[in-house]
């Protein structure tokens, strides 16, 4: 996470609109304290220290004796031993990556990984994969990647599943994705115009209505999650029993063991006009 922390803040809407809650993301650069995201072995350097008199000494040397800052710092610092396991550095990312529609480096990385891991776990031919942007919750940092980063990125206990769809059922799914907004796809290229599917290819070929296609996804999307019904019309279903978070963690650990960094790109697989 280097020198940047990300915080989600709830903002209550009061004036001029219906009451409710929305979420906004703020960049916190540590300019007041020098605080950075800690790993397992640099808590004092990253978060600072609490003195015997209850005052808080920040990483940049500034001392806070009054107000809420010492109390908040004590809570954060005290929680670190229990969080040591998830502060393990499990990978290195060559760049910062965030999700964005219709495609992004991070979403392409995630959905391609889902396709590859589902094929590996099931031993079944898997032409496509579909996951939802909403299932990717945080960004990929540049540099060291902690286990905490990955578990925060994929916090939901959704299993990887494999379904067999006819070409007709696949076209229904692709039209659904076009109508309700693009999602993360792998193995296909699609063009969406004004919420309608203009074209789609799988493996560089038009969809064959009579062919059977193996599709990887997560069980959340089988029957209506994020307005997607991947399982509708499926002739076969295989549940791997492996959550997407566990699959991503395992894949990344193997990548690291091979001496490779996390690095990805966009390739024009989804075009929205």
Instruction: List the domains of the chain with CATH numbers.
Output: 5-85 (no CATH), 90-272 (3.90.780.10)
Closest CA relative to residue 33, chosen from 84, 70, 87, 6: 70
Between helices 244-257 and 105-122, what is the axis angle to 10°? Answer: 90
Q: Are 215 and 228 in contact (CB under 8 A)?
A: no
Residues 144, 154: Cα–Cα separation, whole Å: 17
Find the mean pLDDT for residues 233-245: 98
Confidence (pLDDT) at 20: 59
Residues comprising the chain, all counted: 273
Which of 76-85, 126-135, 258-267 comes out lowest in average pLDDT?
Answer: 76-85
First to last CA, the chain: 35
pLDDT digits (tens, 9 = 90+) for 8-50: 333 333 444 445 566 666 666 778 899 988 888 899 999 999 9
Beta strands in 127-247 (DSSP E): 128-131, 143-146, 159-166, 184-186, 188-193, 196-202, 205-206, 212-218, 236-243
Prediction pTM value: 0.81
The H or E element that residue 89 is part of is strand 89-93
DSSP, res 140: B
CA dihedral sign, ordered 82, 85, 86, 89: positive
pLDDT, position 98: 95
């Amino acid at each position: 996470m280097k020198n940047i922390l990300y915080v989600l803040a709830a903002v209550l809407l009061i004036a001029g609109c219906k009451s409710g809650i929305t979420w906004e993301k703020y960049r916190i650069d540590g300019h007041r304290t020098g605080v950075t995201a800690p790993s397992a072995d640099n808590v004092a350097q990253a978060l600072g220290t609490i003195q015997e008199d209850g005052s808080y000494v920040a990483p940049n040397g500034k001392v806070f004796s009054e107000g809420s800052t010492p109390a908040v710092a004590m809570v954060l610092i005290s929680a670190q031993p229990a969080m040591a396991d998830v502060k393990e550095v499990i990978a290195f990312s060559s760049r910062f990556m965030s999700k964005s529609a219709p495609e992004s480096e991070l979403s392409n990385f995630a959905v391609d990984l889902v396709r590859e891991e589902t094929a590996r776990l099931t031993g079944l031919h898997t032409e496509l994969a579909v996951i939802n942007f909403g299932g990717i919750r945080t960004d990929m940092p540049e540099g060291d990647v902690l286990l905490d980063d990955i578990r925060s990125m994929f916090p939901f206990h959704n299993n990887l599943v494999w379904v067999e769809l006819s070409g007709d059922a696949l076209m229904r799914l692709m039209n659904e994705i076009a109508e309700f907004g693009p999602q993360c796809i792998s193995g296909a290229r699609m063009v969406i115009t004004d919420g309608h599917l203009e074209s789609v290819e799988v493996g560089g070929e038009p969809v064959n209505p009579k062919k059977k296609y193996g599709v990887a996804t997560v069980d959340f999307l089988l029957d209506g999650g994020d307005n997607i019904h991947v399982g509708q019309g499926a002739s076969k279903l295989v549940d791997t029993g492996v959550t997407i978070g566990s699959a991503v963690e395992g894949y990344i650990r193997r990548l690291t063991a091979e001496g490779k960094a996390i690095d990805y790109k966009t390739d024009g697989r989804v075009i929205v006009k």
